[in-house]
């Protein structure tokens, strides 16, 4: 089973991540800071990281750089959550594979997870996928 790591303090994001993980048959781990997320990812067993843009001590861009550092030999695909007005281009440049707009529409998050990590095929490194999915209205039908 693939494992999703959600790095967020937002209960709504945690709920949406749980619903998406359950629907896709993906395991879910959750931590509240980028430092905890980086430490857990470095231990192994994390196949995809969901990063909230607003994190204590280290922002989403810095965490994405750390997880996508070719010098360090660690490449874990990431999804960032961006608020309106945030610079999603910087996130993509940092190595984020997909950006989902906040407020998070559960269907958009589920689609991003599904596209970034097929549930029956764990990530094995290699080519980067870059795309953006914006569904700012949480009421969009899924």
Q: Domain residues of the chain, as ranges?
A: 3-122+129-133
Those residues whose C-beta lies under 8 Å from the C-beta of residue 142, and which sit 6 or more positions away, are: 105, 106, 107, 108, 110
Q: 21: helix, coil or strand?
A: helix
Q: Across the 142 residues of the chain, what is the mean pLDDT of every consecutive 10-residue run?
A: 93 95 94 91 90 80 78 77 83 84 88 75 48 46 32
Run of H or E including 109? helix 106-116
> Class assignment of domain 3-122+129-133?
alpha beta
Give the model's pLDDT for residue 137. Answer: 45
> Helices 60-67 and 34-43: crossing angle, nearest 10°?
10
- In the β-sheet with 78-82, what is the strand arrangement from edge to edge? 27-31, 3-7, 48-52, 78-82, 98-101, 131-133
């Amino acid at each position: 089973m693939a494992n999703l790591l959600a790095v967020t303090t937002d209960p709504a994001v945690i709920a949406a991540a749980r619903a998406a993980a359950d629907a896709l048959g993906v395991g879910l781990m959750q931590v509240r800071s980028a430092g905890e997320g980086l430490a857990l990812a470095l231990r192994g067993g994390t196949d995809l990281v969901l990063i909230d843009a607003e994190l204590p001590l280290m922002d989403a861009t810095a965490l994405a750089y750390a997880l996508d550092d070719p010098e360090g030999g660690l490449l874990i695909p990431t999804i960032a959550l961006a608020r309106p007005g945030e610079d999603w281009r910087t996130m993509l440049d940092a190595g984020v594979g997909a950006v989902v707009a906040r407020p998070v529409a559960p269907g958009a998050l589920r689609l991003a997870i599904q596209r970034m990590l097929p549930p029956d095929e764990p990530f094995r490194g290699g080519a980067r996928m870059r795309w953006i999915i914006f569904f700012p209205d949480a009421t969009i039908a899924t």
